[in-house]
Homo-oligomer: A and B are copies of this chain.
Amino acid sequence: KISKRILVIGGDGIGPEVTRWGKRVLETVAEKYGHAFVFDEGLMGHAAIEATGNPLPDDTLEKAKRSDAILFGAIGHPKYDQDPHLKVRPEQGLLRIRKELGLYANLRPIKLFDELLAASSIKPEVLKGADILFFRELTGDVYFGEKKKADDGSWASDLMIYHAYEVERIARKAFEAARLRRKKLCSVDKANVLESSRLWRAVVQQVAADYPDVQCTHMFVDNAAMQLIRDPLQFDVILTANLFGDILTDEASQIAGSMGMLASASVGDGTGLYEPIHGSAPDIAGKGLANPLASILSAALMLQIGFQMQEEADAVLRAVEQVLKKGYRTVDIADKHTENSMIVGTDGMGQQVIQQLANS
């Protein structure tokens, strides 16, 4: 019987509605396998600004540090997107928790469930068998470099900066993972233009020397954005910087059929944070339409990576697979060409997975 403290942060938009189901899955796993998962709740993002004025209240940060893992939903609100001049912004909460907890490695597995082959905008024959693991650096780059702007609004800047140690630690994690997979690592940068990318490439080349069994290649980010769609099967592990990783993993969601299917694990030296890669989707928030599978799969990543509970994680994956096989689909993964598909909402999908998992 294993005990774990889990902090649940729903966040903004569809965050709370989907995270509810990630949590229910963890509860079901705890019951089924006799673990003791203790849950706490925290505020972050727009929700936290409304309640406290702070996108990451001290209370949330303290709870986060005391937890074994964090299940997070999504962040962002249209109010701030329409007004570029607002100083306090929801995203600051997420960026700060990543930095404070040292979550420098963001793992984003992109894998298509066979049942969803038809749901993608990409041709099935191009996709079939695609299985990519992204390592996105998460606490450096232009996200955290110094920000400046002229008082008169005539210019603004962000510093894109990397330290060698930041590149090295995530590169090692990525090479270790590649070793356990198909032993191919592609590092993505823009070394033909950027000084920080040339540092990135030089450090990755050095680390690669310690992993002669892993085939290491380098690709420019523009080319990578193209190759991901042209031929996703060529990739195994992709290692890249914070900004490039943000863009490429969202793009790669189309390989998995929908953004609503993609989970991520942010890990570093301590407590890990598990979250869908989708955003707060304000346009569908509160309508019960959002796909909870990304949150459920984030819970599975927590079990696997955070708690080393491989069997439990597999049980969740199998439950999701079964539910898809039975034909249940949220609108984002619905496909007019599949017969017998049943369109369900957030709760309908969540309940199906819980049932399947409980009875497995």
**A322-359 to B contact mask, C-beta < 8 Å, 1/0:** 00000000000000000000000000000000000000
Q: Would you call A201 and B84 a contact (CB within 8 A)?
A: yes
Q: Is A223 interfacial (CB 8 A cutoff)?
A: yes
Question: With A123-B122, A202-B84 given, is the CB distance from A142 to B194 under 8 Å?
Answer: yes
Give chain A interface residues in 230-255, CB to chain B under 8 Å: 230-231, 243-244, 246-251, 253-254
Q: How far is the CA of A251 from the CA of B197 in the complex (A)?
A: 20
Among the stretches A33-41, A148-156, A307-315, the one at the interface with B is: A148-156
Q: Is A292 interfacial (CB 8 A cutoff)?
A: no
Output the nearest chain B residue to A223 by Cβ-Cβ distance.
Answer: B250
Q: How far is the CA of A191 from the CA of B80 in the complex (A)?
A: 9
Give chain A interface residues in 214-231, CB to chain B under 8 Å: 218, 220-223, 225-226, 228-231
Q: Is A30 interfacial (CB 8 A cutoff)?
A: no
**A236-277 to B contact mask, C-beta < 8 Å, 1/0:** 000000011011111101100001000000000000000000
In the complex, which of the residues B121, B163, B249 contacts A122, with contact meaning CB atoms closer than 8 Å? Answer: B121
In the complex, which of the residues B149, B159, B162, B248 contacts A199, with contact meaning CB atoms closer than 8 Å? Answer: B149
Select the residue from A81, A122, A143, A229 with max chain B CB neighbours within 10 A: A229
Q: Would you call A191 and B84 a contact (CB within 8 A)?
A: yes
Total count of chain A residues near the partner, CB < 8 A: 68
> Chain A: interface secondary structure?
helix
Q: Would you call A198 and B84 a contact (CB within 8 A)?
A: yes
Q: How far is the CA of A183 from the CA of B155 in the complex (A)?
A: 28
In the complex, which of the residues B81, B121, B246 contacts A123, with contact meaning CB atoms closer than 8 Å? Answer: B121
Q: How far is the CA of A111 from the CA of B162 in the complex (A)?
A: 37
Q: How far is the CA of A95 from the CA of B90 in the complex (A)?
A: 36
Output the nearest chain B residue to A149 by Cβ-Cβ distance.
Answer: B195
Output the nearest chain B residue to A225 by Cβ-Cβ distance.
Answer: B251
In the complex, which of the residues B148, B163, B226, B250 contacts A154, with contact meaning CB atoms closer than 8 Å? Answer: B163
In the complex, which of the residues B192, B205, B248 contacts A225, with contact meaning CB atoms closer than 8 Å? Answer: B248
| Residue contacts A-B, CB under 8 angstroms, 22 given | A80-B192, A81-B191, A84-B198, A89-B192, A91-B192, A95-B193, A142-B193, A153-B199, A155-B163, A156-B195, A156-B198, A158-B194, A159-B160, A222-B251, A225-B225, A225-B248, A226-B251, A226-B253, A228-B251, A229-B229, A230-B254, A244-B247
- Chain A residues in the interface with B (C-beta under 8 A): 76, 80-81, 84-85, 89-91, 95, 121-123, 126, 142-143, 145, 147-149, 153-165, 190-199, 201-202, 205, 218, 220-223, 225-226, 228-231, 243-244, 246-251, 253-254, 259, 279
By Cβ-Cβ distance, the 9 closest A-B pairs, closest first, are: A156-B199, A84-B198, A157-B161, A225-B251, A222-B250, A147-B195, A121-B126, A229-B254, A156-B195
